[in-house]
Structure 1
Amino acid sequence: MNRPGRPTGPTADTATVVLTSALELLLSEGAAALTAQRLHQATGVSRSTIYRHWPTPAAVLAALIDVAPLPPVEPSGDLARDLHAEVDLLCNRLRDRPVGAFLQALVVAAAADPDAVELRHRYVSDLLEPFHAVLRVANIPAIQREDAVAMIASPLLLDALLLDRPTARTRAHRIVDDVVNRLARA
């Protein structure tokens, strides 16, 4: 049964226009620019439409995360090779826009907006999930999996977010080799 009234979500064209502009604003001006007024100025979409579908900057950030999932990679079963491949992908993602810049903007937004903290956790979890998937396929227990992912990813995130330098791919590969050797001994 069709009911008269407004649709439950924005049209695909409206969402594309608003979210594309939101990403551009986020990367150029930061999360503070994700207001309905600023999005209206950038897109021409009415403020009421923007408020209705993305009432807060955190809602815009969440929508951006929803439309940019990372493509799944099928592990080969070779733990070292799969982890090396994931390290390379994460290094590339952290180096390239928009992933690295988006993550930096989420960190800044989370410092000012408690709603953005959960989004930062969600986005980082999405970035780290491929490592967990590789380790699950290798039947690594959960506690060891958590430690292994932290050992591999933490230096990369430190480089990208706090030290503002390129991720150290060679060091990351050495860490992967060390982690694989530790897991083999466990």
Structure 2
Amino acid sequence: MTDEPDPRFLRSRQAILDAARELLLAHGPVAVTHQRIAEHAGIGRATVYRHWPQPEQLLAEAMTTVPLPFFESPAAPFRPWLTGELTSLARQLELDAVRAVATTLANAALWNPGMDARRAGFAAAVSQRLASALTEAERAGELSLRGELSDAAALAIGPLYYRATIERAPADAALIERCVAAVGVWTSP
């Protein structure tokens, strides 16, 4: 007897996750149902239930498959790079599907320890990437940080998240510039 999982099990699991991610990004969390995933993946609903008995478990797992591309590749000069990253993030947060994923994650984390762990992992990844980039900018002499490096993500991203999710309005260039300025004093490279 082997400990290797059945290839059919792995294929159906992957098909379910792919369908869940596609539905999540296209239609938001409300679309991640066993029925819609089964239809989208072309498999039986019972197969979806075997892998994930509870819809919130499936949603949580689907959310972890959504890529997190922000702040991955910092580049000098850092101020225009950060402005571009925050602009890209703001444009993503204007999309209903992305806004739905972000707010669902924040909401579900209040009551679900698994979702809270995912939220914490997401926050840590974003904060660490941004902190690393800002540290490079400081070493290059382009930035003098204001306050604690651990607050940088809240200062830079917080206003964009608020504008997108609470006000449901786009972030303009002036707000993005204020977010860039909030992390520190920028100088020419």
State the TM-score, normalizing by the size of structure 2. 0.69
Q: Which position in structure 2 is the counterpart of 1:166? A: 170
Tell me, in whole angstroms, the C-alpha distance in 1 between the residues paired with 2:173 and 2:125: 20
Q: How many residues align?
A: 178
Matches within 5 A, 1:56-67: 56-67=54-65
2:137 corresponds in structure 1 to 138
Structure 2 portions without partners, runs of 5+: 140-144
CA distance in 1, matches of 2:115, 2:38: 22
What does residue 49 of structure 2 align with?
Answer: 51
Q: Which residue of 2 aligns with 1:157?
A: 161
Q: In 2, are the aligned partners of 1:159 and 1:167 still within 8 Å (CA)?
A: yes
1:17 maps to which of 9, 16, 19: 19
In the alignment, the residues of structure 1 paired with residue 156 and residue 104 of structure 2 have an alpha-carbon distance, to the nearest angstrom, of 23
- Give CA-to-partner distance per residue, 1:30-86, whole Å, 9 cap, x none: 3xx645356446655323321333333343233323332133642113232222122
Distance 1:107 1:80, change over 3 A: same
SS at match of 1:20: helix
Q: 1:86 corresponds to which residue?
A: 85
SS at match of 1:138: helix
- For structure 1, the 5+ residue unaligned runs are none
Structure 1 partner of 2:6 = 6
Which structure has more helix as a fraction of its residues?
1
The aligned residue for residue 100 of structure 1 is 99
Residues 78-125 of structure 1: per-residue CA shift (max 9 Å, x gap): 232222122111111111243222112323434554433333333444
Give the aligned CA root-mean-square deviation in angstroms.
Answer: 3.5
Cα 1:131–1:168, aligned 2, differ >3 Å: closer, same or farther? farther
What's the CA shift for 1:173? 0.9
Q: Tell me, yes or no, if structure 1 residue 147 matches structure 2 residue 151.
A: yes
